[in-house]
């Protein structure tokens, strides 16, 4: 595997930014000294069919939807120096999950804008015909001044019309909508649900439907007896914002926002005080 100081085509790797099960992300520069984030696939085995398909899907979807201020910038992807990689805009910042766990000031000072920007980023993705399927705080980057980027499109799929049952069931259970956990037909409204879970977490620093297993998460989603509205945890949450979050978390997808643009409109109306 490449190491700090090694070159991949025109890019020199400098520092390992992040490492996951399937890939690593490096800070790199080109010959002109411009910085990039280079994502490298870890498993180059010819038999790594699933990993390679997901990696390439993420690259192709990003190439289709980039060019928006709230989506990480795309540069190129493919085999470079013998390595399968994706070259992206470099953003100096941290993911929302880490910042929330630290109760970082950049989150508390920019909370309303973060809520709006996350919805606008999803709106852009949906307007281009894709659903993210893994929307969660870990896949939202924030810079030191609160600028946001949506990342990681490996699980993204074209929005089915009408809703369609997925062949596989990708995603993170705590952010998956009831219809997805039940293996029922889904569409972009699973992202609206995931947005609601993330917004609830931002406002309360806890999950609305905690659970150690997908079955436990689903049980809490369907049986709301233990559900606590966000304003009962954080009294600063205004009624209008709570109403928006609760609509995102409706059990029946028909009762959620039908299009993300309506969610964005209501957020802006409520939060631009």
- Of the residues 117, 134, 152, 154, which is catalytic? 134
As a whole number of angstroms, the distance between CA 30 and CA 49 comes to 30
The closest of 171, 165, 169, 215 to 197, measured between CA atoms, is 171
| Structure token digits, residue 264 | 């964005």
As a whole number of angstroms, the distance between CA 188 and CA 129 comes to 9
For the chain, the helix, strand and coil percentages under 3-state DSSP, each to the nearest 5: 40, 20, 40
Terminal-residue alpha carbon distance, the chain: 51
As a whole number of angstroms, the distance between CA 192 and CA 126 comes to 10
Q: Is 215 a residue of the active site?
A: no
As a whole number of angstroms, the distance between CA 67 and CA 125 comes to 11
Beta bridge partners, 150, equal 71, 140
In terms of Cβ atoms closer than 10 Å to its own Cβ (0-12, 13-18, 19+), residue 207 is: middle
| Catalytic residue numbers, as ranges | 134
């Amino acid at each position: 595997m490449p190491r700090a100081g090694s070159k991949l085509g025109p890019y020199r790797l400098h520092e390992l930014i992040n490492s996951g099960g399937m890939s690593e992300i490096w800070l790199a520069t080109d010959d002109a000294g411009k910085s990039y984030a280079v994502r490298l696939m870890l498993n180059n085995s010819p038999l790594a069919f699933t990993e390679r398909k997901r990696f390439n899907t993420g690259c192709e979807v990003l190439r289709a939807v980039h060019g928006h201020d709230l989506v990480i910038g795309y540069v190129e992807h493919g085999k470079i120096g013998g390595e399968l990689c994706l070259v992206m805009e470099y953003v100096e910042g941290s993911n929302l999950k880490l910042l929330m766990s630290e109760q970082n000031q950049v989150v508390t000072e920019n909370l309303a804008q973060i809520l709006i920007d996350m919805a606008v980023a999803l709106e852009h993705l949906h307007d281009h015909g894709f659903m993210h399927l893994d929307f969660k705080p870990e896949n939202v980057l924030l810079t030191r001044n609160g600028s946001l980027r949506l990342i990681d499109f490996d699980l993204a799929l074209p929005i089915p019309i009408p809703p369609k049952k997925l062949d596989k069931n990708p995603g993170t259970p705590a952010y998956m909508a009831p219809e997805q956990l039940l293996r029922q037909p889904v569409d972009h409204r699973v992202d609206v649900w995931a947005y609601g879970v993330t917004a609830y977490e931002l406002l309360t620093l806890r999950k609305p439907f905690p659970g150690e297993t997908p079955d436990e998460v689903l049980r809490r989603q369907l049986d709301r007896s233990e559900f606590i509205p966000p304003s009962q945890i954080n009294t600063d949450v205004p009624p209008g914002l709570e109403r928006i979050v609760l609509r995102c978390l409706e059990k029946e997808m028909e009762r959620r926002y039908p299009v993300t643009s309506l969610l964005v409109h209501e957020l802006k109306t409520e939060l631009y005080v």
